[in-house]
Amino acid sequence: MTTGFWRASLLIATTQLGLLARSRRAWAAACLLLLPAIIAWLVAAANAKVTPSGLSTMLGWYALLGVSVPLASLLLGVAVVAEEVEDRTITYLLLRPIPRAALFVGRLAPAVLWLCACSAVGTALLVAAAATARGSDAGVSDGVRLPLLLAACAGVATYTTLHAALGVWVKHAMIVGLAYSFTIEGFLSNLPGRNQLLTIQYHLRSLVAGTGDDAWQRIDGFGATEWNPLFDSGLVLALVVACASAAGAWRLARRQFELPA
Amino acid sequence: MTHASPAPVVRAKDLARFYGDVVGVCDLTVDIPPGTVGLLGPTGAGKSTFLKLLAGELKPSRGSIEVLGAPPFANPAVHSRLGFCPQQDALWDDMTALEFVEFLLRLSGFEPARARKAALVALERVQLVDAKDRRLGGFSKGMRQRARIAQSIAHEPQLVVLDEPLTGLDPLARHATLELFRQLAAEGASVLFSTHVLHEVEALTTNVVLLHRGRLLARGEVPAIRALLDRHPRRYSIQAREPRRLARELVELEGVEAVRIAEGGMLVVETRQPERLLEALPAIASAARAGIGAFESRDEGLEAVFDYLMGGST
């Protein structure tokens, strides 16, 4: 008696979701995604000149998309398979009559779902905290709120899948992931020129540029940058998710794990 | 009329597995028949590596292994008929015992109601049913071991493979677990378990596979292995008030190969007929007025015996 891919994925995902809610790592990632909202609240309280839309776009652009989303995804993404290996419980899953790819998908999906939910809450709280700013402008519009939500959710999905695949391919995925986040995503995405196209960050920002309103123009260099069309960036991110999922599942199907007694 | 011997449940041919420069198992060719088989060897003999290869957790570096007629690595067809109890004390600590076994049964293709029923039966069999709703993280070492055994037998596999299943169990649980293995065998399942304690195997089966330093040392029935072990002179330490006088008497005894006085005046006797020594010693000691204070076997460790056998076989 064997279990099919989708059924096994669903079983693992539902069980994993329950375990995730009790995991310290998951709550640490949630805290990272709530951090911009806390900063927004502190800045709004401390600075009388800052405006609601200015505060939400600045913190959304730099803190949420630039720092919280990549780091929270790294934290949870590398653990998708690596956590089971570290805990030495992966044996139970590998030796069941299921396709190994289901293990990857079943563990990845709850992580993405959790981070999307936390991103949605983080974005909502960020906007709410920014709205308390005392500077006068038109307030936080849907043209700020929705693009931020879209980009944050797309960001956690893409980064988490990428890091999950990394966790299956390399031994010290956290170190490699940190190096990637700082050098490629943190550095390259802020350099002028076409090199930005190689970063996920650029495509997330393109989603914001493609759906956002004029409030985003206050960001340094926003108007001077040539953003990708919305559809193209969406396609690139979807391709990254698909390729990383396939690479992770493929590797897991072939990889053996040497677990100490 | 001739009877064809049953097809082996495990067939390894020139099997080797290396961890970098370290040998896990090497050039292992062995057929394991259906029934209960003990995999015996001292620590570091390669038992766990062999069982991991057999369960499909590891791939061979060289050679091949077939379990129930197929290579086990990433093979759902084999895993649906195989139950594996790993040695590592690792469980999902946030799950209850029932959730743990039930979840793995669901992954084995059991429908929810059937999975619940089979999980309860398995927990009953390892005497954990009263603790079924407790989190595994709060379990004692022995209970955790029994939970691991429960998941390996719950789906009624054709072959149950257990890596040091009796480690960490108290005597009562050990007895109950051995009884469980007997029941599984009586129900038609094949049971392959590893241990480094010979008498644990003897309590369950006469069929053993001996590994040492990653190689097959012997395979067969316990009496044959015993005979092999008996080729090794046994050593005994005797503490006596008059060791020299006792040594003079013992050296004349049939089967005694050597007698020497070690540091601290301890008498060390090597004999190929330990029963003869044990039988004659009281009378000899009494006649010699040697005054025996302590007597113990120096060959408790299987490692020493195995080292001797390896030396003898090369």
Q: Are strands B190-195 and B62-67 parallel, antiparallel or unpaired?
A: unpaired
Contacts of B73 in chain A (CB under 8 A): 256
Q: Would you say residue A261 has pLDDT above 60?
A: yes
Which pLDDT value is given to residue B279? 87
pLDDT at B4 over 70: no
**A51 within some domain:** yes
Residue of B nearest to A252 (CA): B74
Per CB-CB distance under 8 Å, the chain A contacts of B59 are 256
pLDDT of residue B306: 64
Is B130 in CB contact (< 8 Å) with chain A?
no
Mean pLDDT, rounded, of chain A: 92
pLDDT tens for residues B134-158? 999 999 999 999 999 999 999 999 9
Contact A19 B92 (CB under 8 A): yes
d(CA A37, CA A43): 10
- pLDDT score for B25: 93
Tally the domains of chain A. 1
Residue type at A173?
A
ipTM: 0.86
Percent of chain A with pLDDT over 90: 74
Q: Is there a contact between A9 and A99 (Cβ–Cβ < 8 Å)?
A: no
Q: Which residue of A has its CA nearest to B24?
A: A258
Q: What is the pLDDT of residues A155-200, one digit of tens each?
A: 999 999 999 999 999 989 999 999 999 999 988 888 877 788 899 9
Domains for chain B: give ranges and CATH numbers: 10-227 (3.40.50.300), 233-298 (3.30.70.100)
Mean pLDDT lowest for which of A235-244, B154-163, B170-179? Answer: B170-179
Q: Looking at the domain assignment, is residue A210 inside a domain?
A: yes
Residue B267: how many other CB atoms lie within 10 Å: 22
Of A94-108, B9-23, B26-40, B267-281, the least confident: B267-281
Check A8 against B107: CB less than 8 A apart: yes
**In this prediction, what percent of chain B has a pLDDT beyond 70?**
90
Provide the 10 A C-beta neighbour count for residue A112: 22
Helices (H) and strands (E) in chain B, counts: 11, 13
pLDDT at B311 over 70: no
* Average pLDDT of chain B, as a whole number: 88
Tokens representing A155 are 């960001």
Inter-chain touch B107–A93, beta carbons under 8 Å: yes
Helix, coil or strand: residue B128: coil
Residues of chain B in contact with residue A95, where contact means CB-CB under 8 angstroms, are 55-57, 79, 82, 84
Whether B29 shows a pLDDT value over 90: the answer reads yes
For residue B313, pLDDT over 50 is answered with no
A chain contacts of residue B48, beta-carbon cutoff 8 Å: 261
Helix residue spans in B154-217 (DSSP H): 171-186, 198-202
pLDDT digits (tens, 9 = 90+) for B204-242: 888 889 898 889 888 877 777 666 666 667 788 888 888
Residue ranges making up the domain that contains A170: 2-254
pLDDT number for residue B314: 39
Report yes or no on A260 lying in a domain: no
- 3-state secondary structure labels for all residues of A64-131: HHHHHHHHHHHHHHCHHHHHHHHCCCHHHHHCCCCCHHHHHHHHHHHHHHHHHHHHHHHHHHHHHHHC
Determine phi and psi for B136, rounding to 5 degrees.
-65, -30
pLDDT at A153: 97
Asked if residue A261 is part of any domain, the answer here is no
The residue among A136 and B249 whose pLDDT is bigger is B249
Is residue B299 scored above 90 in pLDDT? no
Across A217-222, average pLDDT:
84
Chain A interface, best mutation among B25, B85, B107, B167, by max A CB count within 10 A = B107
Give the mean model confidence (pLDDT) for residues A151-156.
Answer: 97
pTM value?
0.83
Given a cut of 60, whether residue B302 has pLDDT beyond it is: no
**Chain B residue closest in CA terms to A102:** B107
Calculate the alpha carbon distances from A80 to A92, A106, A108, A174, A256 in Å: 15, 9, 6, 12, 16
